[in-house]
């Protein structure tokens, strides 16, 4: 470990802000600090259960857990609280949510559920309108505002309407005993703020909290952390102001600015040594980011050698860009295969194409397919967004929370069981009239006044099926039994047949069914009780019932199992690339209007340009060895091509300045030596 990392790890007694530049080994710092906190004799001497490590994504949490496990052993690691902000919220609410009026078995709505509730609440079929409400409501919630605040602050008619829809939405959520993702932060905050005994309980429990990607926190997350940590609590925030690229969804750098003021004894430690990229790449990155007003100045450096100059690729149009990128990759790869035969340096998984917007991927996909190069597009539709998975999730959610009406409607109609609009409409009216959930209405005595017996029989049949499944799910643990239960259930409800009936293409139906089977395996695996990949038996305490697993299912959005292991080229957006790295990277379409993004009719604000500049910085710093920056000379607009302007960020990189001047042959020899001497395997995170 370098001196700065060491300082960060050894600083245990006051709040600490680690400004971790890209590739500076921040995960290393966090994991080692956790180990240090556990070691007796350094003043902290904490038990594993007293430490919390908070991340933004499940993937980051999983990686963190793995790396801590390697350091302190599986037994101690299992007792640590390593989780995302949202799963921490779930935990707080499951344990103490009753204090804010939430029953223990609440449901978590995903953004599609939210959208359909909003469409309903605002009586519109206009998806765009509903989405704009969803967006605005989420922003308000992330600032800690309720519909009441929003309505009184509303500056326009649109905002007032949104606020009114929000009020209806809040009512619905309460009635369903459901929360959305924003509530998973907002409600725990309310819980801790308003209930002293809960607050002290958690403050006593967690003696040291470490937060990853601190620059991505929003206003409510800041407040939540503050309450969780307490007035004299100790924490470690790890982040990089230069990599803050989520301002548009509520993240605010104010959280970084406020830290020294809110905690005067804050220790600020910059990590500037980069273990990822060559000097040529870092110089370009520093040149760009320098132009932003800086909160905490820092300059990245590395001792990995000068490396190859950043290559500017000027392309005629999008097709040309894709072809050139593919040709460039092939060239680099062939050189590696020649220079380092028998190594994995030429593997396709070491190559990535990064772009600003998802639709830019398509043309690269075509070119890669044509060249027979394997690739994956990351981002886009996730496994859990697929209709078949959502169908099954609806059933699981309904098991967890019988009052989850959106889940009820989806489950009772998929697969079709002869219960249609008529019946459900009546049931809905009945439940609204008596202020009960659809599930409760199902078993009400007086339902016979609203519906014919035949319809009621069908409803009761569904209810019995559900109760039976719930009973079994509660009492089934261990992956083998869980899998048997789930398969029996799918057979019961005839799900495979349902897929075949509703899909005219047999292949598509088969693909969907295969997704379902993957999903079953995935849940079963989570029920535990079988052999771990590393050979150790999972402990008895890790065995969970199917119902327990079902509770957390809506929080998880990616299988992320062997994602990194496929030997394929990665196509991804700049946003989704944060935290990742590849030896060879091409940044595509680095033109004005695209990166920095702006619409032709609007003038970008300086803050917007600054965030786009950070995005460029993130992109540059993903590359370990070679970096290509591709610029379009012309862009397709309608049928003809129009002139395209290179991004201002290209000039800002100052390519060709500051590098060493040397004989080309000498240079080639040096490059090869440097490349051969590079350490293998991943460094830092």
Partner DNA sequence: AGCTTTCAACTTTTT
Partner DNA sequence: GTTGAAAGCT
Residues engaged in binding DNA (CB under 7 A): 56-59, 84, 86-87, 110-111, 127-128, 181-182, 184, 248-249, 356-359, 362, 379, 382, 555, 557-558, 573, 575-576, 597, 599, 636-639
Q: Does 319 qualify as catalytic in the annotation?
A: no
Instruction: Please tell me which residue in 212, 323, 610, 612 is annotated as part of the active site.
Output: 212
Which residue in the list 472, 526, 622, 648 is annotated as catalytic? 622
State the catalytic residue, choosing from 57, 243, 476, 570: 243
Do the strands 634-637 and 640-643 form a parallel or antiparallel pair, or are they unpaired? antiparallel
Distance of closest approach, residue 182 Cβ to DNA, in angstroms: 7
- Of 288 and 574, CB closest to DNA: 574
User: Is 358 or 502 the residue whose CB approaches DNA more closely?
Assistant: 358
Name 477's bridge partners: 545
Which residues share a beta bridge with 178? 107
Rounded least distance, CB 93 to DNA, Å:
13
Helix-strand-coil split of the chain, %, nearest 5: 55, 15, 30
User: Helix and strand tally (H, E) in the chain?
Assistant: 29, 16
- Give the whole-angstrom CA distance, residue 626 versus residue 310: 7
Quick one: DSSP state of residue 4?
H
Cβ distance 420 to 436 under 8 Å? Answer: no
In the complex, the smallest distance separating the C-beta of residue 250 from DNA, rounded to whole angstroms, is 9
588 or 675: CB nearest DNA? 588
First to last CA, the chain: 14
DSSP assignment letter at 537: B
Closest to DNA by CB, 642 vs 677, is: 642
Question: 3-class SS at 503?
Answer: coil
Active site residue 213: yes
Residue with Cβ nearer DNA (356 or 584)? 356
Q: Is 212 a catalytic residue?
A: yes
What's the 3-state SS for 306-354? CCCCCEEEEECCHHHHHHHHHHHHHHHHHHHHHHCCCCCCCCHHHEEEE
b/e code 346-356 from CB counts within 10 Å (16+ = b): bebbbbbbbbb
Residue 534: alpha-carbon gap to chain centroid: 26
Report yes or no: 346 and 337 within 8 Å, Cβ to Cβ: yes
How would you classify the pairing of strands 375-377 and 569-573?
parallel
What whole-number distance in Å separates Cα of residue 384 and Cα of residue 47? 36
Do 272 and 301 meet the contact criterion of CB atoms below 8 Å apart?
A: yes
User: What's the rounded Cα separation, in Å, for the pair 111 and 33?
Assistant: 36
Question: Least Å distance between CB 359 and DNA?
Answer: 4
Choose between 573 and 621: whose C-beta lies nearer to DNA: 573
Looking at the Cβ atoms of 470 and 503, the one nearer to DNA is: 503
> Would you tell me how many other CB atoms lie within 10 Å of the CB of residue 683?
17
User: Which neighbouring-strand residues pair with 311?
Assistant: 628
Q: How far is the CB of 141 from DNA (least distance, A)?
A: 11
d(CA 313, CA 630): 4
Nearer to DNA, 318 or 391 (CB): 318
Token pair 């409400």 in the structure block, residue: 133
In DSSP terms, 51 is beta-bridged to 208
Comparing CB distances to DNA, the nearer of 142 and 423 is: 142
Half-sphere exposure of residue 65, counting CA atoms within 13 Å on the CB side?
A: 18
Strand bridging mode 51-55 / 208-211: parallel
Marked catalytic residue, from 27, 215, 217, 621:
27
CA atoms of 257 and 657, how far apart (whole Å): 33
19 alpha carbon, distance to own chain's centre: 21
Angle between helices 495-502 and 506-526 (to 10 degrees): 150
Q: Taking the complex as a whole, how short is the minimal distance between the CB of residue 291 and DNA, in angstroms? A: 19
Q: 622 catalytic, yes or no? A: yes
Cα 17 to Cα 258: distance, rounded to the nearest angstrom:
12
Rounded distance between C-alpha atoms, residue 38 and residue 51, angstroms: 9
Q: Which is nearer to DNA, 333 or 614 (CB)?
A: 614
Cα angle, residue 219 at apex, residues 385 and 615 outer, rounded to 5°: 65
CA distance 5 to 8: 5
Copy the structure tokens of residue 61. Answer: 């949490």
Shortest reach from residue 621's CB to DNA, in Å: 17
CA max distance for the chain: 93
Closer to DNA by CB, 131 or 349: give it. 131
**Shortest distance (Å) from residue 114 CB to DNA:** 9
Nearest CB to DNA, comparing residues 182 and 403: 182
Question: Considering 26, 226, 333, 614, which one is annotated as catalytic?
Answer: 26
Query: Pick the catalytic residue: 96, 110, 213, 391?
Result: 213
CB of 597 to DNA, least distance (A): 5
- The least distance separating DNA from the CB of residue 590, rounded to whole angstroms, comes to 15
Q: Which of 106, 129, 104, 107 is nearest to 118 (CA)?
A: 129
Active site residue 572: no
Least distance (Å) from DNA to the CB of residue 547?
A: 19
Closer Cβ to DNA, 5 or 107, answer by number? 107
The DSSP symbol for 85 reads H
- Nearest approach in angstroms of CB 160 to DNA is 22
For 63, list phi and psi in degrees, rounded to 5: -65, -40
Q: How far is the CB of 382 from DNA (least distance, A)?
A: 7
Which residues are marked as active site? Answer: 26-27, 212-213, 243, 622
């Amino acid at each position: 470990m370098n001196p700065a990392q060491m300082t960060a790890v050894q600083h245990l007694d006051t709040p600490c802000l680690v400004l971790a530049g890209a590739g500076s080994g921040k995960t290393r710092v966090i994991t080692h600090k956790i180990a240090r906190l556990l070691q007796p004799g350094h003043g902290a001497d904490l038990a594993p259960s007293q430490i919390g490590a908070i991340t933004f994504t499940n993937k980051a949490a999983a990686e963190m857990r793995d790396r801590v496990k390697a350091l302190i052993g599986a037994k101690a690691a299992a007792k640590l609280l390593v989780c995302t902000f949202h799963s921490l919220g779930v935990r707080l609410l499951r344990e103490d949510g009753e204090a804010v009026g939430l029953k223990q078995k609440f449901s978590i709505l995903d953004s599609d559920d939210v959208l359909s509730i909003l469409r309903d609440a605002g009586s519109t079929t206009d998806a765009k309108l509903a989405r704009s409400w969803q967006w605005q409501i989420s922003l308000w919630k992330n600032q800690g505002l309720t519909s009441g605040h929003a309505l009184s602050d509303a500056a326009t008619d649109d905002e007032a309407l949104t606020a009114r829809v929000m009020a209806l939405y809040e009512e619905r959520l309460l009635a369903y005993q459901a929360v959305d993702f924003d509530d998973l932060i907002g409600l725990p905050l309310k819980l801790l703020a308003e209930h002293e005994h809960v607050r002290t309980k958690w403050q006593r429990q967690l003696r040291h909290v470490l937060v990853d990607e601190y620059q991505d926190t929003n206003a409510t997350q800041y407040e939540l952390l503050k309450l969780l940590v307490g007035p004299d609590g100790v924490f470690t925030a790890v982040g990089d102001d230069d990599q803050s690229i989520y301002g548009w969804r509520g993240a605010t750098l104010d959280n970084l600015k406020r830290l020294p003021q809110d905690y005067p004894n804050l220790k600020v430690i910059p990590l500037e040594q980069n273990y990822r990229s060559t000097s040529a790449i870092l110089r370009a990155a520093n040149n760009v980011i320098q132009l932003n007003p800086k909160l905490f100045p820092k300059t990245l450096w590395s001792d990995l050698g000068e490396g190859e100059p950043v290559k500017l690729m000027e392309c005629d149009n999008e097709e040309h860009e894709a072809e050139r990128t593919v040709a460039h990759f092939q060239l680099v790869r062939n050189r590696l295969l020649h220079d380092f035969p028998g190594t994995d340096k030429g593997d396709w998984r070491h190559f990535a194409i990064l772009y600003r917007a998802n639709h830019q991927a398509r043309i690269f996909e075509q070119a890669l397919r044509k060249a027979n190069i394997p690739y994956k597009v990351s981002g886009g539709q996730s496994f859990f967004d697929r209709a078949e998975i959502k169908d099954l999730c609806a059933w699981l959610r309904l098991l967890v929370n019988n009052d989850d009406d959106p889940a009820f409607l989806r489950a009772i109609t998929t697969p079709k069981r002869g219960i249609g609009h008529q019946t459900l409409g009546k049931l809905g009216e009945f439940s609204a009239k008596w202020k009960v959930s659809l599930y409760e209405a199902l078993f009400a005595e007086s339902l016979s006044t609203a519906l014919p017996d035949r319809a009621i029989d069908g409803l009761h049949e569904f209810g019995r099926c559900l109760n039976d499944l719930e009973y079994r799910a509660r009492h089934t643990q261990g992956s083998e039994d869980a899998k048997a239960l789930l398969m029996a259930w799918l057979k019961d409800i005839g799900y495979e047949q349902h897929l075949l009936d509703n899909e005219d293409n047999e292949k598509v139906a088969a693909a969907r069914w295969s997704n379902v089977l993957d999903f079953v395996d995935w849940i079963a695996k989570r029920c535990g009780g079988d052999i771990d990949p590393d050979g150790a038996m999972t402990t008895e305490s890790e065995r969970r019932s199917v119902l327990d697993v079902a509770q957390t299912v809506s929080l998880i959005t990616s299988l992320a199992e062997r994602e990194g292991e496929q030997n394929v080229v990665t196509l991804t957006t700049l946003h989704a690339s944060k935290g990742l790295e590849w030896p060879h990277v091409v940044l595509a379409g680095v033109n004005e209007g695209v990166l920095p993004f702006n619409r032709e009719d609007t003038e970008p604000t300086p803050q917007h340009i600054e965030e786009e500049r950070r995005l460029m910085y993130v992109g540059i710093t993903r590359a370990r060895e070679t970096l290509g920056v591709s610029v379009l000379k012309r862009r397709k607009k309608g049928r003809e091509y129009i002139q395209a302007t290179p991004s201002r960020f290209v000039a800002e990189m100052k390519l060709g300045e500051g590098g060493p001047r040397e004989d080309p042959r000498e240079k080639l020899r040096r490059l090869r030596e440097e490349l051969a001497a590079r350490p293998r395997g991943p460094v830092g995170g």
